[in-house]
C-alpha cells in the first residue's frame, strides 16, 4: 500500500468521526509524529494530559492503518456508557 493511501484512510476516518486536526493532524509530517493517542468511545470533551491527546467521541471502528504510524508508542482505546 502506498504511504499516501493509508494516510488518506486515516484522514477520511478522522473526518467521518469529526476528529479534529489537533488530534489526527491532516498533514503528513505531523501525522507521522504522533506518539500517543487516546480515543474514548463515548461522548465527552477533548483534552490534553501530559502531552497525550485525548478525544472522547462516538466512534464505532478504529482503522487498522493506525498501525502504520511508526512513532505511535501508546494507543489507548476506552469505552464507557
Please enumerate in sequence order all residues whose Cβ is within 8 A of that of 72, keeping only pairs 6 or more positions apart, or say none.
Answer: 34, 35, 36, 37, 66
pTM score of the predicted model = 0.75
Write out the residue range of the structural domain in which residue 23 sits: 3-78
The per-residue pLDDT for 21 is 86
DSSP 3-state of 44 = coil
pLDDT of the residue at 77: 79
Q: pLDDT tens digits for 14-71?
A: 998 888 888 899 999 999 999 998 876 655 545 455 556 566 566 778 899 999 999 9
Strand 52-56 versus strand 36-40 pairing type: parallel
Number of domains in the chain: 1
Amino acid at each position: 500500500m502506498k504511504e499516501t493511501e493509508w494516510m488518506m484512510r486515516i484522514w477520511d476516518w478522522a473526518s467521518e468521526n469529526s476528529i479534529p486536526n489537533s488530534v489526527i493532524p491532516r498533514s503528513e509530517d505531523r501525522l507521522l509524529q504522533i506518539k500517543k493517542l487516546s480515543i474514548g468511545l463515548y461522548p465527552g470533551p477533548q483534552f490534553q494530559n501530559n502531552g497525550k491527546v485525548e478525544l472522547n467521541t462516538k466512534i464505532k471502528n478504529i482503522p487498522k492503518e493506525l498501525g502504520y504510524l511508526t512513532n505511535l508508542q501508546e494507543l489507548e482505546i476506552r469505552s464507557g456508557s
